[in-house]
Amino acid sequence: MEKAIIGKKVGMTQIFDEVGHMIPVTVIEAGPCVVVQKKTEENDGYTAVQLGYQDTKESKLSKPELGHQKKAGTDLKKFLKEFRLAGAANMNVGDEVKADTFAAGDKVDVTGISKGHGYQGPVKRCGGHRTPMTHGGGPVHRQAGSMGSSSTPSRIFKGHHGAGQMGVDQVTVMNLDIVKVDAELNMIVVRGAIPGPKGGLVSIKNTAKTIRAKSVDVRISNNPQKASGRNPQKASAKI
């Protein structure tokens, strides 16, 4: 069953598993969320649900947002996000989605807005190279320089790398596994890093990647140039 929830990034830490291995994790305060709107094939042409997260006051919402949420009859929420889920037809307006919807071991995709770094030059923003620092280079070592021909096309193509706003982009980190879920604290702990600053809004959804189980032992190579490929028994004895 497909699942989704909205949350807030708390920060990163590390935990230890049963055998003492250190695992870098990110703590997410996930939910509780409420279903504000349900979309169906008959009315909208597709099936989806709109989730609301974090209580707010009427004065913090615009008139269209206020009317939309009052129509649902739910508590007013600050953030709304729509998810197309396979089981959306079984959900109804007013249903609550909590952190225990997910379980430890689930594979998820986490989407958030990356940290902003302000207006940056081409060296930092796009990985450009500076000019040589020898005598006579002038004060232009980190400038972009020439970008296009004069006759054809006589312009710079749209999207060309250069100076500009860095960060504040929607980023999705795929195929992260959930290490721990705490329903009382509304906490989901995922392995690795996720985009955004502390306190940033994130959404969690089942991963879109296909997980395939490997049918062979990955520690024994088929390459005859490797020791494990020449003598698999010797390699398996080390395990």
- Tell me what pLDDT residue 223 has: 61
Q: What are the residue ranges spanned by the domains of the chain? A: 4-116+169-237, 117-166
CA distance 34 to 54: 10
- Tell me what pLDDT residue 8 has: 94
Same fold, 4-116+169-237 and 117-166: no
| Partner residues linked to 172 by β-bridges | 111
Exposed, middle or buried, 56 (CB in 10 Å: 0-12/13-18/19+)?
A: middle
Q: What predicted TM-score, i.e. pTM, was given to this entire model?
A: 0.75
CA distance 152 to 26: 50
CATH number of 4-116+169-237: 2.40.30.10
- Tell me what pLDDT residue 218 has: 53
Q: Which residues have a Cβ under 8 Å from the Cβ of 239 and sit 6 or more positions away?
A: 219
- Tell me what pLDDT residue 208 has: 84
Amino acid at 232: P
CATH topology of domain 117-166: Ribosomal protein L3; domain 3 (4.10.960)
> Closest by alpha carbon to 96, among 74, 76, 78?
74
What integer best gives the mean pLDDT of the chain? 85
pLDDT tens profile 12-48: 999 998 888 899 999 999 879 999 988 888 888 888 8
> Closest by alpha carbon to 76, among 90, 65, 84, 87?
65
